[in-house]
């Protein structure tokens, strides 16, 4: 078929994008397509949610495995968590028993974040890019996920990591992982050269026809292009075919929203070669499904002759059940967390409005860059808003302010190389989390008297870094050593379920659920137990009429059951709505939607 990203592929192909956009499916389908054309192909996954083995119905693991059903195709799954643990052990084991336990614990925390995991995975697959024998054995190596611009820039920094860290010049959060890499600098240099060579490497950005994922794709494009990875293609995956919108109001609304998002696509993406892949009704497991994924006919949804699946009706917990339990406390900090694109800003607004409607004073604080939320609420004279105040934090402004403060203090006496290291450290994802959280923390104090609802929050790793590098908690504890004095630090408040409730937001899809589970484990390491999960934009709860959407709704049930029976102490389900929940009336309606879903997920409905 005629798709730009399939044309004249170079030896190395990287698929990258937000969780749940279909990177793995497209990487697998492309690898099969190349092998079907007689090419020798190695498919490599460094995705923490990798299901490549499941897609092909075989066990793969961390060794090259032939996919017997596809002549010429082999696969390899690099487990980034296992790679990160081996990497941590390599750095930490030599200092155990030599350095004080507190220092060792601090090193381990520096090595526990997403940057370490990504660097460790990069450490593994750079060998694939730079091994002449391996490269000669294959015509193409297809990577499911690519390193971020931040990681690549880290690997291009001056060779002064060890001295920088040993001299404690930066309280570094993301440079710590680099301390074990000095011996492989030549290998990394060769790998980065290969990534930057358009004759050898193609980067395929994968997105959905949604504003949030397209904005994220544009940021990724610009960040990677700025460091030399300019051979980029865009694939917009999972577009609802127009024929599905004919007899279903929900499908018609989805189609309209997607088409509007495509029309408003960021200019940076419009200049790229763009391919569109239609939404399929089936799970992308098995060779037949993979080969159908890249079919050219978007109208052929494969549902015309298929029976309409039944979605057996029973009650499942609505968002209002969680809000009722929250309201019983009368005040407190409510933090909504989750990966980008799952809808946490909208749900934070819904929670805040519902609490205000009950007559509680509520402060909603948001980092929503679009700012439409505050404008919508401020323009409404509903009695609910008498109890609701809204503040918006600009993540870019807060991060710039934080970076400058660190450079002016810790970077004041650094030489040029040291300052370059510190500046790169301050470009890490942790930095924005810390900066935004510091701005949010000004509102936390209000939670003793009212409800404070946050639409985003730092990960457990970042919270531990804040606690370790700022040492605020320990300093207060030392000063308040008198057992008769009582005190509370922000960290203690976050760890106290009587004061703070964390709501994890996800979608009923494999990757978003796994990402939320990893976030939950991260928070637990910081002593914070999530209070509830919210499964947002559920098709099974929306009861669509479209055959394609109903078949996809059935596919959600396994993930919803996993949330209900394995991950969450309590949970709620929010359906995908025909109208976007903007404004007080629609936000209130969202919390009270009556849900009809499978009996399998109803057994843990009480909050």
- Report which of 15, 35, 18, 34 is spatially closest to residue 26, judged by C-alpha positions: 15
- Report which of 309, 235, 249, 248 is spatially closest to residue 278, judged by C-alpha positions: 235
Strands 73-77 and 65-66, how do they pair?
antiparallel
- Cα of 444 vs its chain's centroid, Å: 25
Q: Of 17, 19, 20, 411, which residue is the catalytic one? A: 20
Q: Of 18, 19, 24, 169, which residue is the catalytic one? A: 24
Q: Of 17, 47, 65, 456, which residue is the catalytic one? A: 47
Token output for 87: 């990497």
Per the CB < 8 A criterion, the answer to whether 143 and 108 are in contact is no
Q: Of 16, 17, 19, 23, which residue is the catalytic one? A: 23
Per the CB < 8 A criterion, the answer to whether 544 and 553 are in contact is yes
- Report which of 168, 83, 70 is spatially closest to residue 124, judged by C-alpha positions: 83
Q: How far apart are CA 427 and CA 396, in angstroms?
A: 11
| Tally of CB atoms within 10 A around 376 | 16
Q: Of 25, 301, 367, 399, which residue is the catalytic one? A: 25
- Report which of 36, 38, 37, 45 is spatially closest to residue 13, judged by C-alpha positions: 45
Exposure string over 474-513, b if 16+ CB within 10 A, otherwise e = eeeeeeeeeeeeeeebbbbbbbeeebbbbbbbbbbbbbbb
Q: Of 16, 18, 19, 22, which residue is the catalytic one? A: 22
23 classed as catalytic: yes
| Tally of CB atoms within 10 A around 313 | 12
Per the CB < 8 A criterion, the answer to whether 107 and 176 are in contact is yes
Q: How far apart are CA 343 and CA 536, in angstroms?
A: 7
Token output for 359: 């007559």
Q: Alpha helices, DSSP H only, in 414-471?
A: 416-425, 429-444, 460-470
583 classed as catalytic: no
Say which DSSP state 95 is in.
G
47 classed as catalytic: yes
Q: Of 50, 511, 538, 605, which residue is the catalytic one? A: 511
Q: Alpha helices, DSSP H only, in 156-210?
A: 161-166, 185-196
The residues annotated as belonging to the active site are 20, 22-25, 47, 511
């Amino acid at each position: 078929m005629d798709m730009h990203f399939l044309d004249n592929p170079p030896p190395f192909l990287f698929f990258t994008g937000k969780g749940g956009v279909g990177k793995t499916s497209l990487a697998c389908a492309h690898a099969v397509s190349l092998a079907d054309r007689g090419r020798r192909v190695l498919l490599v996954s460094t995705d923490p949610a990798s299901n490549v083995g499941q897609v092909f119905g075989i066990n793969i693991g961390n060794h090259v495995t032939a996919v017997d059903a596809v002549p010429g195709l082999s696969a390899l799954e690099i487990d980034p968590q296992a790679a990160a643990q081996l990497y941590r052990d390599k750095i930490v084991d030599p200092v155990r028993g030599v350095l004080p336990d507190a220092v060792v614990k601090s090193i381990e925390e520096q090595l526990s974040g997403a940057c370490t995991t990504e660097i460790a995975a990069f450490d593994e697959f750079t060998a694939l890019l730079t091994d002449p024998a391996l490269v000669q054995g294959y015509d193409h190596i297809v990577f499911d996920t690519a390193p971020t611009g931040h990681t690549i820039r880290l690997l291009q920094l001056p060779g002064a990591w060890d001295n920088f860290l040993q001299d404690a010049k930066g309280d570094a959060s993301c440079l710590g992982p680099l301390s074990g890499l000095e011996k492989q600098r030549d290998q990394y240099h060769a790998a980065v050269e290969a990534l930057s060579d358009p004759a050898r490497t193609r980067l395929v950005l994968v997105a959905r026809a949604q504003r949030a994922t397209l904005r994220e794709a544009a940021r990724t494009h610009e960040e990677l292009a700025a460091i030399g990875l300019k051979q980029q293609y865009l694939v917009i995956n999972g577009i609802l075919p127009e024929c599905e919108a004919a007899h279903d109001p929900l499908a018609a609304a989805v189609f309209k929203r997607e088409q509007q998002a495509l029309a408003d696509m960021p200019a940076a993406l419009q200049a790229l070669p763009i391919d569109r892949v239609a939404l399929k009704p089936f799970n992308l497991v098995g060779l037949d499904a993979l080969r159908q994924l890249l079919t050219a006919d978007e109208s052929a949804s494969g549902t015309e002759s298929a029976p309409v699946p039944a979605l057996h009706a029973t009650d499942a917990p609505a968002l209002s059940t969680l809000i009722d339990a929250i309201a019983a406390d009368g005040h407190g900090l409510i933090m909504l967390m989750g990966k980008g694109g799952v809808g946490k800003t909208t749900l934070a607004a819904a929670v805040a409005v519902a609490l205000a409607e009950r007559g509680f004073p509520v402060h909603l604080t948001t980092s929503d860059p679009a700012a439409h939320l505050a404008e919508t609420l401020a323009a409404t004279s509903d009695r609910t808003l008498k109890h609701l105040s809204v503040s918006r934090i600009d993540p870019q402004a807060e991060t710039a302010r934080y970076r400058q403060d660190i450079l002016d203090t810790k970077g004041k006496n650094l030489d040029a190389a040291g300052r370059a290291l510190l500046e790169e450290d301050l470009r890490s994802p942790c930095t924005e989390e810390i900066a935004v959280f510091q701005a949010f923390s000004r509102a936390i104090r209000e939670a003793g008297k009212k409800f404070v609802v946050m639409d985003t929050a730092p990960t457990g790793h970042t919270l531990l870094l804040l606690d370790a590098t700022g040492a605020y908690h320990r300093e207060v504890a030392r000063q308040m050593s008198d057992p008769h004095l009582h005190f509370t630090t922000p960290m203690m408040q976050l760890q106290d379920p009587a004061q703070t409730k964390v709501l994890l937001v996800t979608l009923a899809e494999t990757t978003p659920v796994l990402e939320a589970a990893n976030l939950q484990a991260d928070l637990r390491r910081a002593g914070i137990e999530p209070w509830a999960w919210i499964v947002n934009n559920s098709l099974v709860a929306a009861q669509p009429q479209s055959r394609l959407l109903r078949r996809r709704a059935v596919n959600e049930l396994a993930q919803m059951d996993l949330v209900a029976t394995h991950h969450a102490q309590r949970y709620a389900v929010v359906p995908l709505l025909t109208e976007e929940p903007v404004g007080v009336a629609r936000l209130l309606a969202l919390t009270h939607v009556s849900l009809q879903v499978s009996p399998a997920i109803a057994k843990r409905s009480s909050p």
